[in-house]
Structure 1
Amino acid sequence: MRRLPRLAAVATATAALTVLAAGPASAVDPTVSDPRIVAHFDFAAGQTPENIALEPDGSADITFAFAHQVARVAKDGTTTIVATLPEVANPQTPNIGAAVALGIARAHDGTLYVAYATGTAETGIWRVVPGGGAPEQIAQLPADAFPNGIALDEKCGTLYAADSARGEVWSIPLDGGDPAVWASGAALAPSPELPFGANGLKLHDGAVWVSNTAQGTLLRIPFRQDHTAGPIETRATGLDGIDDFAFTGHGDTALAALNSANLLELVRPDGTHKTVLTAADGLDNPTSVAVRAKTVYVNSSAFFDTTDPDPNLLLARISKNKL
């Protein structure tokens, strides 16, 4: 069975980070229930789900990291390959060594944007036009970058990308302008023990929110009036092994995927958090989360599962009246 290059070396350090900060129960906490796996994927073929964007009909566009593909999964589990990123002859991706498709964002017209980390000139952002077809690179990032979570600000024509290797957030103009480092600092950095820093990224309520896997934190970076980055705020700690996250509604309550711990964590606005899904519900190294109305989507990659890897897409119900 195919194993994932170099991830085993990181797994030991990541798996050790499982002490969770539990907070008091809240009467306004959303509830997550009825988890069910709607699609299983082929681990040996590199179909390791990494990130997710939602279609208007509720289908999920997901990236298969090591197959470097984009797949569309209907709510009944029917899976169609939408696009395949180009092969890279000699990938030198930081910490991984293999080319990986990572973050994905969807524009209103159906255009998809995908982060591709290769350690070569192909590292950057790739565009997939509506209907699929051959992806086109629209932005090149440094070869030592690891663009991970991405989010699109269509009004400003800018895409933001979390760089896990360099510990930065990039701003990338969609009109062909040069990418620039939008935010950096110790709060976004990886660590010697775990070389994945800034990871998930969302635009929410006047700010860029970023998770830091190495530090187990959820961060908020407000936009200044000129759209430059304000000071980085730490909004939650103790989220060891955090990968991607999603907000449950208009407030600051979020659901966070804790990859190594096989947990989905509800993170309250005050930074306290509690577990709402576990491996017993079907999680197998969860990587990303999306929320649409009363439905929660969770990707699992099975990156570190050495016994019976089950990469999958899980759907659950979230209480609407509590949001």
Structure 2
Amino acid sequence: MPLFRLTRRPVGLAAASLALTLFSAAPAVSVAPPLSAPHVLAHLDLAAGQMPENIVLEPDGSADVTFISARQIARIGLDGHTTVLATLPAPAVPATPLVGFAAVTGIARADDGTLYVNYATGTDDLTGVWRLTPGGVPERIAALPANGLPNGLTLDRQRGNLYVADSLLGTVWRISLHDGTRTAWATGTELKPNGFIGANGIRKHHGAIWVTNTDNGTILRIPICPDGSAAPIETRATGLAGIDDFGFTGESDDLLAALNSANEVVHLPQGGTPTVVLTGQDGLSNPTSVAVCGDTVYVTSAAFTTMQDPNLLLARYNA
């Protein structure tokens, strides 16, 4: 979830009344190595609430995304066509902390095509992790605290667990896919907000859970111990102001991260320093998440503060 605050308005008005604008006036930089050939695959409908928050990829290259304020899960094909897969039920009175509206945030995909999403409503009956099976209807499989803000979501296929980054409670929740058990898997000051949004983007990678902290501009790594518990939190990167979600480029720890407030995507090589590889000049409009498949990079932009052209952008990754 990016750095923005919205008032409670109908989705048809793009859920927009910004109490805080953190869009920075960084110099324009066109696409840079290791990326090339950026192009916008799909221009989305801001007035319909099509503000993509998170992304996961299908085997055929299409992208499943969450439209945060429309309460929708959608699929964008490689032809740019968008299909709404499901709309989550609306709370009678949304009371989501920080944002005020019912928000569909992180998304993960199992090998059988089942999709999992986080839903934050500020109500006990709806807040939690929801499941959408192919051709089915969404159902909640685990409750999460209504006073929290479940944001990023990742799947550990080996252990059969989901991990949820709670941006307000500074917690990584672990959800068992076997019985829906919820565990506060990792906590600490490194995950807490420092004014607005703490733990945000999250990925399972090489035996660890990686998490961003938006307020602190950090990327954190939390190794998974042999017994499944969380090892001490490690800080792997700093100085990434406004970081949202991210994606690894392959088997190494190289990654691409969306800096929502700076309107940039940065490349962070393992053990190196970040470089800007995409900006608004390339089509970004408040980027929220990144996914990588082979030599193709997908970036969602939600236009929360630009209020122009939410979209899905593709670029080539040159390893």
Q: Normalized against structure 2, the TM-score is what?
A: 0.91
Unmatched 5+ stretches in structure 2: 1-11
Q: Quick one: distance in 2 between partners of 1:180 and 1:276?
A: 37
- TM-superposed CA distance for 1:16, in Å, is 5.7
Change (3 A) 1:5 1:210: same
- TM-superposed CA distance for 1:177, in Å, is 3.5
Match of 1:4 in 2: 15
Q: Does 1:252 align with 2:242?
A: no
Match of 1:311 in 2: 310
Q: Taking every aligned residue pair, what percent have the same amino acid on both sides?
A: 56
Q: Show CA shifts across 1:148-172 (max 9, x none).
A: 1111112212100100111110000
Change (3 A) 1:207 1:18: farther
| Within-5 A mapping of 1:269-288 | 269-288=270-289
- TM-superposed CA distance for 1:269, in Å, is 1.6
Match of 2:76 in 1: 73
- TM-superposed CA distance for 1:17, in Å, is 10
Q: Show CA shifts across 1:281-308 (max 9, x none).
A: 00000000000001000000000114xx
Q: Show CA shifts across 1:117-161 (max 9, x none).
A: 111121110000113x32000000010111111111122121001
- TM-superposed CA distance for 1:180, in Å, is 1.1
SS in 1 for 2:221: strand
Q: Show CA shifts across 1:36-66 (max 9, x none).
A: 0011111111110000010000000000001
**The one of 128, 134, 139 aligned to 1:130:** 134
Q: Quick one: distance in 1 between partners of 2:201 and 2:240?
A: 13
Q: Say whether the 8 Å CA contact 2:14–2:48 is kept in structure 1.
A: no
Unmatched 5+ stretches in structure 1: 20-28
Amino acid at match of 1:31: P
Match of 1:24 in 2: none
Q: Show CA shifts across 1:216-269 (max 9, x none).
A: 001100111111111111101111000000000101110000001110000122
Match of 2:7 in 1: none
Change (3 A) 1:60 1:117: same
Q: Show CA shifts across 1:183-215 (max 9, x none).
A: 0111111112xx110000000011000011000
Match of 1:44 in 2: 47
SS in 1 for 2:65: strand
- TM-superposed CA distance for 1:2, in Å, is 1.8
| Within-5 A mapping of 1:57-72 | 57-72=60-75
Match of 1:106 in 2: 109
Amino acid at match of 1:99: A
- TM-superposed CA distance for 1:272, in Å, is 1.2
Q: Quick one: distance in 1 between partners of 2:190 and 2:303?
A: 27
Match of 1:15 in 2: 23
| Within-5 A mapping of 1:164-313 | 164-192=167-195, 195-306=196-307, 309-313=308-312
The count of aligned residue pairs is 303
- TM-superposed CA distance for 1:175, in Å, is 2.1
**The one of 81, 94, 97 aligned to 1:94:** 97
Q: Quick one: distance in 2 between partners of 1:271 and 1:4?
A: 39
Q: Quick one: distance in 2 between partners of 1:134 and 1:90?
A: 22
Q: Show CA shifts across 1:11-48 (max 9, x none).
A: 3xx436979xxxxxxxxx96101000011111111110
Q: Quick one: distance in 2 between partners of 1:224 and 1:61?
A: 31
Q: Say whether the 8 Å CA contact 1:237–1:271 is kept in structure 2.
A: no
Aligned residues: CA RMSD: 1.7
SS in 1 for 2:303: coil
Q: Quick one: distance in 1 between partners of 2:75 and 2:142?
A: 24
Q: Quick one: distance in 2 between partners of 1:165 and 1:66?
A: 18
Amino acid at match of 1:216: G
SS in 2 for 1:10: coil
Amino acid at match of 2:207: G
Q: Quick one: distance in 2 between partners of 1:141 and 1:167?
A: 13
Change (3 A) 1:211 1:15: same
